[in-house]
Structure 1
C-alpha cells in the first residue's frame, strides 16, 4: 500500500513516441473495422458476398456481449472496489446496481417509444408488428391487383395510391427513427467505453501489452458496430447516418488517447476521482451493451428471426459458431486488458 497513489499525476511517460503513434494505429484499426462493412454495403466497387456480412454480423454480436461482461462490468467492479475509495463503496454492489439501472432505463425508453410510435402509425392507418414489418392499408394493391381491373375511375385510383404512398412514407420515417435510436443506444455505450480505453492507454505503465490488445479489441468491436450500421434499412435521405456512426466510432478512441497524452502529467487512472468516474461509466455502459446484445441482437437475430426458426440446422449452427467465436476471442482478450 506504500506505493498507492490516489491523487493526481500518476500517468506513465515511457514509450512516448509509440504512445503518440498509437493514436493513428488504433484509429486505423477502429475506422477500418467500422467503415469497411458500411462502404462494402453501399458501394459497387467493394463486392463482399452475403456470407461475409453474415459472419461479421454474428461475430460482432458475440463481441458486443463479451465486451459488456469482460471489458466493462468486470473493470467496473474493480474500479469501484479500489482501495482509494471510501469503504462505503463496498457496502453495496454499486456496479451491478448501476448496470441494472441502465438495463431497465433503456428498456423503459424503448417501450415508451415503441408504444408512442405504434399509436402514431395506427392513427395514420399503418399496421405495425413487433418485428418491425409495417404494411399500409391496401399495401397489396400497391403492387398491382392479381386480376385485371378496368381503367375506370382513374382519379379515384390515383388518390388511393397517393394515400398509400403517404402512409408508406410515414411508416418509413417511424421505422428509420426506431432503427437510428437503437443503433444510437448501442453506439453510445461503446463510445463511452472507447473514450476510457483511450485515456487508459495513454497513461498505463503496461503500455505494450495493452496497446496490442486494444488494437484487436477496437477493430473487432468496430466490425460489430459497422455491420449493424451497414444492415440499417433506411430511406436514401438517412444514408449519412451509417457513415457518421462509423466515423464517430473510428475517432473516439484516438481522441481519448490524445486527451490522455495531453493530461499525462496530471491524470492518474487509479486516483479516487478517476476510479469513481470510470466505474460508474463502465457500469452504465455494461448495462447498455447487455440489453442491446441480448435483446436487440441475440433475441432478434435468433429467437424472433424466421430464417433461424425455419432455416436449416447447418445455417443455425454456422451463425451460432460465428457468434461464439466473436464472444470467445473478445473474452480471451480480457486476459490482458
Structure 2
C-alpha cells in the first residue's frame, strides 16, 4: 500500500523507545493505581471496620456515573472517528462513517442481550409467584414505583418474599431481608441499577459484566498506546489518573451489587481483572515496540472497531442503566429532597467534567 505522503507511515515502523525502564515500571505503577481505584469501594463496603462514611459512597457512585459517560464520548467515540477516518485506510473504510455505525450496532446488541435476559428473568420470577412491573411506571405495593425491576415483596406477601429470598440466597441487603431479619439496610445493598428491587445474582453480574466488557477493551488499547507513544511522560501521568478514576466508577458499581453467597467473589474478581488489563496491554506493546505502529492500517482498523464497540456499550450502560435508573426510575430519588438530587447531579457532572478534561491530553 502506498504511504500516501512523505510523513505517513501505514505499516510497521522501527520505533526508538525512550524511557524504556520507566515504561517497564509503568506496568506496576498503573496496575497499582488501577486496582486502588477499583478495589477501594469493594473492600470498603466489605470491611465495616473501616467506617467509611456513607457520603463517600454516595459521591463515588454518582461521580463514577459521570466518568463512565465521559469515557464513552471523549475517550472512545472521538478516537474511533479518528482511527476509522485515518488516511491509511482505503476502499470500504472511506465510503461510510463506520465509527457511529459500529457504536449504534453495539448499543442495539447490548439492548437485545438485556431484553432477552429481562424476559427470561421475568418468566422465572412469575414461576415464584412474584409480581413484576415490566415498565417501571406504575406504583407497586405501598405506592412505590417498581423502577424497571420486580416489585419489592413487602409486608403484603411475606411468604412470597421469604420464598424468593431462600431460592436466590439473598441476605440482609435487600428489602426482602429487611422483613426477614427485622432491620433496615443502608439502601446500597439493593441492586442500585434497578432502583432497589431485588434481582438475581446472575442478572446483576450480567449488567456489570457488560460495563466491564467496554472498559476492558479501552484499557488494553490504552496500554498498547502508552508502550510506544513518543510523548510517554505526559501520557503516563494522564493515564495514571484516567485509570484510577475509571476504576473508581467501575468499582463503585461492583461494590453495590447485592449478590447471593455463591457470587460474592465477583466484585473483587472484577476489580482485579480491571487492574490487570492495562498492564497487560503495556507489556504486549513493549514486546512489539520495535515494529508496532499505532497509526498503521491494521492498528487503525482494529482499535477503531474496538473503541466504537466499547463506546456503544458504555453509552448504553451509562445513559440507560445508570442515569435513567438512578435518577428517573429510582423510587428513592422520586421522593428525595431537591438538595439531595442537586448534589447527585453535581457529583455526576463533576465526574464527567474531570474525565472530559483528561481527554485534552489522552
Q: Give the TM-score taking structure 2 as reference length.
A: 0.84
How many residues are matched?
317
Give me the whole-angstrom Cα distance separating, in 2, the residues matched to 1:319 and 1:310.
14
Aligned twin of 1:36: 40
CA spacing shift, 1:275–1:125, aligned 2, 3 Å: same
Pair 1:235-2:260 in alignment: yes
- Mapped pair 1:91 → 2:98: no
Moved more, 317-326 or 84-93: 84-93
RMSD: 1.7
1:1-337 correspondence runs (5 A): 1-130=5-134, 131=147, 132-135=149-152, 140=156, 142=158, 165-171=162-168, 175-337=200-362
* Gaps in structure 1 of 5+ consecutive residues: 143-160
Deviation at 1:87, TM superposition (A): 4.7
How far apart are residue 125 of structure 1 and its match?
Answer: 1.7
Three-state SS of the structure 1 residue aligned to 2:292 is coil
Kindly provide the CA deviation profile for residues 152-191 of structure 1, in whole angstroms up to 9, marking residues without a partner as x. Answer: xxxxxxxxx6x86443334558621111000000000000
Counterpart CA distance in 2 for 1:109 and 1:94 is: 22
Please state whether the residue corresponding to 1:190 is helix, strand or coil: helix
* CA–CA distance in structure 1, aligned partners of residues 338 and 13 of structure 2: 57
Q: 1:128 to 1:22 in 2, by over 3 A?
A: same
SS at the partner of 1:45?
helix
Q: 1:282 & 1:12 partners in 2: Cα distance? A: 26
Note if contact 1:11-1:204 (Cα within 8 Å) is conserved in structure 2. Answer: no
CA contact (8 A) 2:169 2:261 kept: no
Contact map agreement 2:130 2:150 (CA 8 A) in 1: no
Change (3 A) 1:6 1:333: same
Report how far residue 10 of structure 1 moved.
4.7
Whether the aligned pair in 2 keeps the contact of 1:30 and 1:219 (CA below 8 Å) is yes
| Distance (Å, rounded) in 2 between the aligned partners of 1:120 and 1:205 | 54
Work out whether residues 9 and 264 of structure 1, in 8 Å CA contact, stay in contact via their aligned partners in 2.
no
Please report how far the alpha carbon of residue 4 of structure 1 lies from its aligned counterpart in structure 2 after TM superposition: 1.5
Q: Distance in 2 between matches of 1:323 and 1:164?
A: 34
Cα distance between partner residues in 1 of 2:152 and 2:165: 7
Kept in 1: contact 2:86–2:300 (CA 8 A): yes
Distance 1:294 1:11 in 2: 40
Whole-angstrom distance in 2 between the partners of 1:275 and 1:10:
17
Deviates more, 1:303-312 or 1:221-230: 303-312
Higher helix share: 1
Q: For 1:175 and 1:31, locate their aligned partners in 2 and report how far apart those are by CA, in whole Å.
A: 27
- Please report how far the alpha carbon of residue 140 of structure 1 lies from its aligned counterpart in structure 2 after TM superposition: 4.3
Deviation at 1:201, TM superposition (A): 0.2
Q: Is the 8 A contact 1:98 1:280 kept in 2?
A: yes
- Tell me the distance in 1 between the aligned counterparts of 2:31 and 2:281: 11
**1:23-54 deviation digits (Å, cap 9, x = unpaired):** 11111110000000000000133221111001
Q: Residue 152 of structure 1 aligns with which residue?
A: none
Contact 1:12 1:204 in 2 (8 A): no
C-alpha distance in 1, partners of 2:16/2:156? Answer: 66
Distance 1:272 1:179, change over 3 A: same
> Of the two structures, which has the highest relative contact order with CA contacts closer than 8 Å and spacing of 6 or more?
1
